[in-house]
Structure 1
Amino acid sequence: MLVFCISMFIDAAGVSATFLMTAPIGEDLHIALANQAWILGSYSLAFAATLLFAGRLADLFPPNIVYTIGFFGLGVFYLIISFMTNDYAFYILRAISGLFAVLTVPSSINMIIQMYPEPEEQAKKLGLFGMSGALANTIALVLAGAFVTASWRWYFRFIAIVVIPFSVGAWFLMPRTKAVAEDIKGSEKWKRMDLVGVFIMISMLVCFILAFTQAPLEGWNKPIFIAPIVISAVLLPVFIIWEHRMPHGYSLLPHNIWSLPNIFPLIIQASAPFLWFATYQLRMASYFQDALHNSAIISAVKLLPMGITALVVGILTQVFPWLITRPRYVQPIASLFAFAGSMILAYSNGGKGHDYWRWVFPSEIVGTIGGMIVFIGMNTTLIQAFPLEFAGVGGSFANVIFQIGGIIGIAVQTALISTGDGQIDDWKGTQNGYFFSGGWILATGLIFVLWYRQSKMPVHAGGTVAV
């Protein structure tokens, strides 16, 4: 579990730490401002687009092998990245590191489900796994801020120093878990990888992510947004039809995915936590530095209460597992907390001087309590809604929903910033962004309480969800 949580932390940190490192990396590698979005986007796009394929690999091949290859490869490429001096080489290597990082998520989830079949214990362990990712969203900012004072390159070297020994140790210490498709012959496994479905899914997600990452920079009426979003919209029914035509057990997603217990409210609610955290942290990290002229490390420290609160909430979910296992009313209340955090922040006017303690600090505490419970609850419940033979894909599917929510949130927030007067210290546009993120998580919580039914979540004696 320690190794699983470390890999989840580092995977999430690959995104959040970049919030603070984008400017120094861009300056060092002479990257134009318009292209700096790819410092983050090259990793995020590769990671999100291949999540489902990685989940399929973890179901068809021994997950401990998939995990070790991914974790070790991530460490090696982080080390190589730390010596890069060319911007295009940096983008390519960041994307490759994302391809290795993505292998660790579904394989970890697969092994957790196999190692802890009892439902309540399984929920607690999945909650612990999810908590490590949520902690990375804040603590990685502090780590990045500390290393940026010397050089951004030392952040990547530090991660490599941690990852490579742990990945080698994991190979020897982790239990030799079997693939859920252990009895299938090698040639048959290749057929069950559904490479055509994987290609369609990756193409669809790449176009979707490209559209929403470039639209705020280039414009929502420009071909760079319209063409990819139209292509992704066309590929969605193509993917659905292809998956439906595949024989049972050969498709990337289960044929009955839309009849899985509570799948609609779970997907809607799962779109909210990354959206809430990403919009809160990315904008405030930038605002503290650009408008209030705080250093990177001070900006990170100002966001540290979110990390401490996330840790406390994560511990409480272990002590009180009903926070995860009884989500119908817990989730809407958590959504209300996150909404309150957004509203407090929206009226903070940026938290200048003592206003940080009056407005921003309480908004971090209140909002993070809600956001963390939503994230851990959805990371657990959505995975448990999938049958055992799709355990890895279930974990990947949950993370795809998380990532898409975060991407849409950042894109909409970036667009709303321009609704102010355009000055760097203007708060009106930022305020509108927090109205959006708060309203979104409140709406998903309302949908959840109306549609979710605990009685639809029966389990087998072994602890897996009955479908």
Structure 2
Amino acid sequence: MFDSLMKKVTGGSDDVYVRPQLGFGRKVFMLSLFCMAEFMDAFIASALFPAVNEMNEALNLGTNESTWIFAAFAATFSAFLLISGRVADIYGSKWCFIVGSALVGLFSLGCGFCHNKVALFVLRALAGIGAAMTVPSGLSLIVEWFPDPVEQNRGIALFGGASGIGNVFGIIIGAFCVQWASWRWIFWTTTCMGVPIALISMVVVPPSAPRPNKPSWRRLDLGGVSLITTAIILFIYAVTSGSATGWARAKVIAPLIISVLLAAAFFVYEAKIDPHMAALPPRVWFYPNVPILVALALVPFFWWVASFYLLIPLFQSEYHWSPIMSAVHVLPMGTFSAIVAGGSSKLVEYMNPKWSILGGLIFDIIATFILPFGNTRQRYWSYLFPAFTIGPWEIMVVYTNANIAIFMNTPPEIAGTVGAVFNCALQGSVALGIAIVGSIASSENAKQIAKGRPPGYKGVADGFWFILALLLVETISVLVFYKIPKTIPADVEQGPPKSSSASSTSAETSIPEKGIVVAEAK
């Protein structure tokens, strides 16, 4: 129905495409679809935390193998984000989003019927590819259909907030599935989200504006994408295997070294080829503050997932809470994240993102400093609950403002690529967080057991001390390296600035390369 609105008018050498003017209700409905997909991507990862014991028993998984329930999904999710962002930028975001949502739903359906651990890991990895397709395309669609800066910032903030909410409410829903039905319903619930999102988006989301260059698979930079995808998968395999079986092993050291070499080869390769053909053009790193914002992306999901990974098994084994009660006790994380998600975007209207990010990091440091002292069930309300109240609130401030800032500092033409890079760091930190804090906690627990003592809280506390150190490093980095430009430099590839005149009858963005003008109908 929207294709008829994208009228092509030829005048001279220019092709003019009339962008449909969407009503407020339709735009809100579209945004809800994008946010639901982001919620689903987080849900399908976090909802499995309460189900680990049941899945281990049903699929005969060893303790070390259970980490692959999460790592298989995280590896492909983070590894395929860059190629997904490239596909969204070249071919258009709508169908990338639709296909990704459908794949998550369909492969999750298969996971629910698995009786073999290898089949489960493979289907989880394939679902991760689908999830990777929804994130950069969803962000790109928000940037495209919400061009007003205020609306766009709020849309990006809500999109990011949906992920934080999905992380926590996924645990709640997963706990209900485990205790009252089966762990298989966690996957089938995902199917009930992914497939309808894809079908509805086919009708509701309008076609994207034409791309300045003719879509071609040659512009996907398959050589560079293959290098970085292989590097990410090998890196996550190495850190996951190292945390599970020990680091001084050939199957850990070899892929770790190869992944570093492949990543280096990728950056050299990208610098050598035509910048317009590169999956990750070197110029991306020269936009203001992009490197520090990508580094900052390592914090939010690391904090959330590491907290769940450390505390939920403790709540069940040491505090003897049921899966549902364990989930309820981490509910404050999601509640306060939901409250802050939309409102935190307004901070950029009053201050530079640097100051809101710094403020969030400082409060996160306070919250994380409290967590190591919640070492008994009786200390939940005096230590853990205040940390669960302050930490997620401020982590959401950091997440949404960093998300907004990276799009403020880069042109919309590469929104898919930029969103992919940012979210690659976010998703990579999931596997990294589980591997690091898992190794720290396991090492300390082994020491306690060797002394004839129960594992207790010491390993969990050590994990939180590491997270605290990471937050301190990130805070100092933002304070030193995040620069506030006196003026925003014009990017030569963005074309002339958009008209802001109130008397203008159409907003136009000229793309000089192909003479395409996109006009928004009024």
With structure 1 as the length reference, what TM-score do the two structures score?
0.93
Residues of 2 paired with 1:319 and 1:377: CA distance?
9
Secondary structure (helix, strand or coil) at the match of 1:102 reads helix
CA distance, structure 1, for counterparts of residue 328 and residue 67 of structure 2:
24
From 207, 215, 223, the equivalent of 1:176 is 207
Change (3 A) 1:183 1:310: same
1:363 and 2:387 matched: yes
Contact 2:72 2:122 in 1 (8 A): yes
- 1:251 corresponds in structure 2 to 278
Match of 1:124 among 127, 142, 154: 154
CA contact (8 A) 1:63 1:178 kept: no
| Structure-2 residue corresponding to 1:134 | 164
Q: 1:190 to 1:344 in 2, by over 3 A?
A: same
Please say if residues 371 and 383 of structure 2, whose CA atoms lie closer than 8 Å, have aligned partners that are also in contact.
yes
Match of 1:348 among 374, 395, 403: 374
Are 1:102 and 2:132 matched, yes or no? yes
For the residues of structure 1 that align with 2:367 and 2:156, how far apart are their CA atoms? 25
- In 1, the alpha carbon distance for the partners of 2:481 and 2:282 equals 22
Secondary structure of residue in 1 paired with 2:207 = coil
Q: What's 1:210 paired with?
A: 237
Partners in 2 of 1:76 and 1:296 — Cα distance? 27
Partner SS for 1:33: coil
Q: Is the 8 A contact 2:358 2:475 kept in 1?
A: yes
Q: CA deviation at 1:66?
A: 1.1
How many angstroms apart in 1 are the aligned matches of 2:434 and 2:487?
A: 33
Instruction: List aligned pairs for 1:76-115, cutoff 5 A.
Output: 76-115=106-145
Instruction: Please report how far the alpha carbon of residue 33 of structure 1 lies from its aligned counterpart in structure 2 after TM superposition.
Output: 2.2
User: Match for residue 364 of structure 2?
Assistant: 338
Moved more, 76-85 or 62-71: 76-85
Mapped partners of 1:225, 1:321: distance in 2: 43
Cα 1:407–1:385 change in 2 (3 A) is farther
**Hey, what does 1:398 align to over in structure 2?**
422
The equivalent residue for 1:195 is: 222
Residues 312, 327 of structure 2: 8 Å contact kept: yes
- Find the residue that maps to 2:248 and give its secondary structure: coil
Asked whether the 8 Å contact 1:9–1:132 carries over to 2, the reply is yes
1:304 and 1:411 map into 2 onto residues whose CA distance is 24
> Aligned match of 2:43 in 5, 10, 13?
13
Describe the SS at the equivalent of 2:282: coil
In the alignment, the residues of structure 2 paired with residue 226 and residue 203 of structure 1 have an alpha-carbon distance, to the nearest angstrom, of 16
Is the contact between residue 254 and residue 390 of structure 1 (CA under 8 Å) also seen in structure 2? Answer: no
2:266 is the alignment partner of 1:239: yes
Q: Which amino acid aligns with 2:178?
A: V
- How many percent of aligned residue pairs carry the same amino acid? 28
**1:404 Cα deviation (Å)?**
2.5
Question: How far apart are 1:3 and its partner, in Å?
Answer: 0.3
2: CA distance between counterparts of 1:405 and 1:167?
27
Structure 1 stretch 52-61 or stretch 447-456: which is displaced more?
A: 447-456
Q: CA deviation at 1:185?
A: 2.9
The structure with more helix, counted as a fraction of residues: 1
Asked whether the equivalents of residues 279 and 410 of structure 1 are also in contact (C-alpha less than 8 Å), the reply is: yes
Pairwise CA distance, 1:70 = 1.2
Tell me the CA shift for residue 222 of structure 1.
1.4
Equivalent pair of 2:142/2:155 in contact (CA under 8 Å): yes
Instruction: State the SS of the aligned residue for 1:277.
Output: helix
Give the Å deviation of 1:369: 1.7
Q: Does 1:414 align with 2:438?
A: yes
Q: Contact 2:74/2:428 (CA < 8 Å) preserved in 1?
A: no
Q: Is the 8 A contact 1:291 1:425 kept in 2?
A: no
- Matched residues in 2 for 1:219 and 1:157: separation? 34
Q: Is the 8 A contact 2:333 2:389 kept in 1?
A: yes
SS at match of 2:185: helix
Deviations 1:219-262 (A, max 9, x none): 12111221111001111221111101111210011221221111
- C-alpha contact (below 8 Å) 2:39/2:165 kept by paired residues: yes
SS of aligned partner of 2:189: helix
Q: Distance in 1 between matches of 2:107 and 2:461?
A: 39
State the partner residue of 2:493. Answer: none
Tell me, yes or no, if the aligned pair for 2:48 and 2:186 is still in contact at 8 Å: no
Deviations, residues 419-466 of structure 1 (Å, cap 9, x unaligned) = 3524554212211111110121122022102221221772764499xx
- Farther off after superposition, 303-312 or 429-438: 429-438
Q: Report if aligned partners of 1:261, 1:456 keep a CA contact under 8 Å in 2.
A: no
Offset, 1:265: 2.1
Tell me which residue corresponds to 2:10: none
Per-residue CA deviation, residues 385-421 of structure 1 (Å, 9 max, x unaligned), is 3332211011010011112333322222112212352
* Structure 1 position 4 matched with structure 2 position 34: yes
Structure 1 gaps of 5+ residues are none
Query: Which whole-Å CA distance do the structure 1 matches of 2:287 and 2:244 have between them?
Result: 38
Q: Measure, in 1, the Cα distance between the counterparts of 2:166 and 2:202.
A: 24
Amino acid at match of 2:409: A
Distance 1:118 1:276, change over 3 A: same
Is 2:167 the partner of 1:167? no
Q: Distance in 1 between matches of 2:424 and 2:487?
A: 22
